[in-house]
Chain A
Amino acid sequence: MRALVIDDSRAARMAVSRILKSIGFDVVEAENGEQALDILNKDETITVAMVDWNMPIMNGYEFVKLVRRSDKFREVMLVMVTTENEMSQVVKALSAGANEYVMKPFTDEVILEKLEMLGLRL
């Protein structure tokens, strides 16, 4: 399975990618929502996107809204991975179409358990 990790912080991308790779995912990375949308349009094999909220150019919330507007991506699971920890923000992301939500900081187990909930453990 193939995953897309979207975060403007290289360190954060590496942290999430390492966990996904440890259970056998192929990982592609993007620095913002616009770049991620471009990748998603070209690569139909991506099954899950791990999405940071606060990024330049296009933030994660806008990305989720745009992805969910397109029927083409309805099978793609969207997991917010963010420092935004207010209940109102979580509700906003879920309303926009995010499937799961991880509040930073997280441990490896958090990511692995979220993937399992979504039926994405290899």
Chain B
Amino acid sequence: MAITHREFDYIKGLIKQEAAIVIDTGKEYLVESRLMPLAQKHGLASVKDLVDNLSKRDNQQLVTQVVEAMTTNETSFFRDFYPFEALKKKVIPDLIANRSAAKELVIWCAATSSGQEPYSLAMLIKENFPQLATWRLRIICSDISEEMLERTRSGVYNQLEVNRGLPVSLLMKYFKQDGTRWIVKDDLRRMLEVRLVNLAAPWPHLPQVDLIMMRNVLIYFDQVTKVSILKHAYDQLKVNGVLLLGSTETTINMNLSYQVQQYEKLSYYSKL
């Protein structure tokens, strides 16, 4: 049974309030497909029943689960390919040159989803920058969803997920097989620090960082929230630090202090 306008508007309002994420009209199918499995998990027959339960406002855990279900995004290893080429050839070498005295590099993947991005970054570093083995390297990965963070911690991926974007040589080197599941080896998993962060709410204490990966997450926020997040991100960066956004996202026309840089197809943003 298709969801009604009332149910859609309720979910839309809830997600806006809890996560500052805007679900556009026309995405009713998305609400239904994401929430029906959750409704069934709770023994409910429909999304309508789920909305009725939510309306009672006495089950914060259910609210959290709805937010998580609605904000889980598609991801893959080395997503879009060229940003990782730019990281390898330009962004990380520049950061290494700038930080060679302190020998410290702090990276923050701010919308880590199920972990493919930070693991891609960890593999890229191990493969291309062996000198960082003697540095203090931190890869902090955060997400709004506890479920996604647990997936990141576990490092377990199915066959289709490891098919997506991951060179097979890296699959052989950094994963072990368990039937049709592939599990990230411990030395790579140990490189990640996992934190729960809602980008639209006040951020918990985080260190000053050299590189922020905030790709394909701003698209879900309204303009006011986007600007606020980008300002916070600027404050979080060290001088000469770099922000990477998704290909359709930008800081341009937001009256922010970032310096736009270009490397081949990639635009990225520096704090000078």
| Residues of chain A at the chain B interface (Cβ within 8 Å) | 85-87, 90-91, 94, 100-103, 105-107, 109-110, 113, 116-117
Contacts and interface: CB of A to CB of B under 8 A. Distances in A.
B157 to A, nearest CB: 12
A117 B81 contact: yes
Interface string B52-80: 00000000000000000000000010100
Given A94-B169, A113-B76, A107 B177 contact: no
B223 interface: no
Given A85-B180, A109-B76, A116-B81, A100 B168 contact: yes
Interface in B67-98: 76, 78, 81
Contacts of B169: 94
B159 A103 contact: yes
Nearest to B81: A116
A80 B160 CA distance: 15
Interface of B: 76, 78, 81, 159-160, 162-165, 167-169, 171-172, 176-177, 180
- Which of A86, A91, A116 has most B Cβ within 10 Å? A116
A91 B167 contact: no
Nearest to B79: A113
Contacts of A86: 177
A117 B167 contact: yes
Nearest to A98: B168
A58 to B, nearest CB: 22
A88 to B, nearest CB: 9
Given A103-B159, A105-B160, A106-B160, A113 B172 contact: no
Listed from nearest, the 7 A-B pairs whose CB atoms lie closest are A101-B168, A87-B177, A110-B163, A113-B165, A103-B159, A116-B81, A117-B167
Given A85-B180, A90-B172, A110 B164 contact: yes
B78 to A, nearest CB: 8
A101 to B, nearest CB: 4
Nearest to B169: A94
B163 A103 contact: yes
A106 B177 contact: no
A100 B167 contact: yes
B66 to A, nearest CB: 27
A102 B163 contact: yes
A86 B178 CA distance: 9
27 contacts: A85-B159, A85-B180, A86-B177, A87-B172, A87-B177, A90-B168, A90-B171, A90-B172, A91-B172, A94-B168, A94-B169, A94-B172, A100-B168, A103-B159, A106-B160, A107-B164, A109-B76, A109-B164, A110-B160, A110-B163, A113-B78, A113-B164, A116-B81, A117-B78, A117-B81, A117-B165, A117-B167
